[in-house]
Amino acid sequence: MNIPKTYIKVNKVDNLSSKWYNSKKLLVTRISGTVTLSDVIKWEESLYKALQEIQDNDKFKIYVNLFGFKAQDVETHKKFRNIIPITLSKYGWRVGYLDLFEEANDLKLSCTRGIRCLGAAHVHQDKSKINKYQFFFGIDNEAYFHNPSKASKWINELSLKL
């Protein structure tokens, strides 16, 4: 018996990718939709692959687009929540919102292959949380947005000569 496609529930992940734009020194990474642990692992791998494209001793800025992200379960969320802060710490960057978590006080910064992150834009659909993050943790080279277009404009205009 064939089941019509209209009766099959499909877990759709709208965006799950990372891309390095060398001419802009910009890494764009995005994940949205209801995601599984497998989706998070694929996204993490895409992030690492894009970081490998950056030349040794270079600098970059990152646009982290999580607009529409929802973890399918607690295990998925636990895996997901550490990826950006830990990954960026390996490029000399401490994500501002880590100040909320006492367990992050000992996070060490390093510079993998001499590469340094110098700016970050974060996007999420939870407007009240993002506004709070911007108020408490927003700085000249790190900002939090509810609107992906505004975040994209801001990060594209951010100078790496800070």
Kindly report the average pLDDT of the chain as a whole number: 90
What letter would DSSP give residue 139? B
Confidence tier at 8 by pLDDT (50, 70, 90)? very low
Distance (Å) of CA 93 to CA 9, 50, 98, 134, 158 = 40, 17, 11, 17, 16
What letter would DSSP give residue 106? T
Domain ranges within the chain, ordered by starting residue: 5-157
Q: In what order do the strands lie in the sheet with 26-31?
A: 16-21, 26-31, 59-65, 116-123, 142-145
Sequence-separated (6 or more) residues with CB below 8 Å from residue 71: 34, 35, 40, 77, 80
The radius of gyration of the chain from alpha carbons, rounded to an integer in Å, stands at: 17
What is the fold, at CATH topology level, of the domain defined by 5-157? Answer: Rossmann fold (3.40.50)
Q: pLDDT tens, 55-93?
A: 999 999 999 999 999 999 999 999 999 999 999 999 999
The bridge status of strand 59-65 relative to strand 33-35 is unpaired
| The pLDDT of residue 91 | 98
Q: pLDDT tens, 131-162?
A: 999 999 999 999 999 999 999 999 999 998 75
pTM value is 0.88
